[in-house]
């Protein structure tokens, strides 16, 4: 087959367009930073058993084109997350999961202080132009009913303020499957605080659809 100059030029332009389109398709991979504490980091677990690796595998199984970045630090409070959110939001990050507050509760941090820190984190995400999923916690009444209500309300109010999706309770996937303390113990590590691999799997299965929605919003 022979091509005249015009035909060769058109063919070349078509080839370039195809290559650019293919490159654009490959560039659709969504990068999500999971900013959190030991629950996100995978404390006490083998690398593949942690929250981020299990969530990555779950999303891969759903056909999602996504790369998760584990930005969890064991022992981190909302203040710690606030101090490192700027360098977590690297230029390649498209979205962020914010799962902080558990250590604030364990230490009895004033809910107003936790609110300020989470507010700053969400503001940083908004300034960076990333989509976000805020993950809350259903806590106990160790510090009284007023503390419990204020702590949990932080997440509701901030999700509304920044118009981001809220997953109300990181441990919802576990709570939904247990009726007795012994059943709960079977899903936790020996410390009674952190989920074991099976518990993490339940968490991932429950939060996974919310992360899929986050991916879809990021691609829109």
How many Å apart are CA 29 and CA 7, to the nearest integer? 35
CA atoms of 162 and 95, how far apart (whole Å): 14
First to last CA, the chain: 42
Indicate if 131 belongs to the active site.
no
**191 a catalytic residue:** yes
Quick one: which of 88, 130, 37, 138 has its CA closest to 52?
37
Let me know: does 199 contact 174? Beta carbons within 8 Å: yes
Catalytic residue among 23, 24, 191, 220: 191
The residue ranges of DSSP E strands in 75-193, in sequence order, are: 95-99, 131-135, 165-167
Active-site residue, selected from the candidate residues 37, 38, 114, 206: 38
**Catalytic position from the list 104, 114, 131, 194:** 194
Tell me, yes or no, if 114 is annotated catalytic.
Answer: no
Quick check: 44 and 193 in contact, CB under 8 A?
Answer: no
Active-site residue numbers?
38, 191, 194
């Amino acid at each position: 087959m022979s091509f005249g100059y015009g035909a060769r030029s058109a063919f070349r332009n078509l080839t370039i367009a195809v290559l650019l389109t293919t490159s654009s398709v490959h560039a659709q991979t969504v990068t999500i930073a999971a900013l959190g504490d030991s629950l996100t980091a995978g404390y006490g677990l083998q690398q593949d058993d942690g929250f981020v690796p299990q969530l990555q595998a779950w999303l891969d199984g759903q056909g999602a084109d996504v790369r998760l970045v584990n930005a969890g630090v064991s022992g981190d409070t909302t203040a710690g997350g606030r101090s490192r959110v700027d360098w977590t939001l690297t230029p390649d990050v498209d979205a962020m999961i914010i799962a902080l507050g558990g250590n604030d509760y364990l230490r009895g941090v004033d809910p107003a202080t936790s609110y300020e820190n989470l507010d700053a984190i969400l503001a940083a995400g908004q300034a960076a132009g990333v989509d976000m999923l805020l993950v809350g916690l259903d806590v106990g009444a160790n510090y009284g009913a007023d503390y419990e209500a204020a702590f949990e309300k932080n997440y509701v109010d901030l999700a509304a303020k920044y118009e981001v999706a809220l997953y109300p309770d990181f441990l919802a996937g576990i709570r939904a499957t247990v009726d007795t303390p012994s059943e709960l113990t079977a899903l936790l590590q020996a410390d009674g605080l952190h989920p074991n691999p099976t518990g993490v799997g339940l968490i991932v299965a429950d939060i996974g659809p919310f992360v899929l929605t986050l991916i879809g919003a990021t691609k829109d």
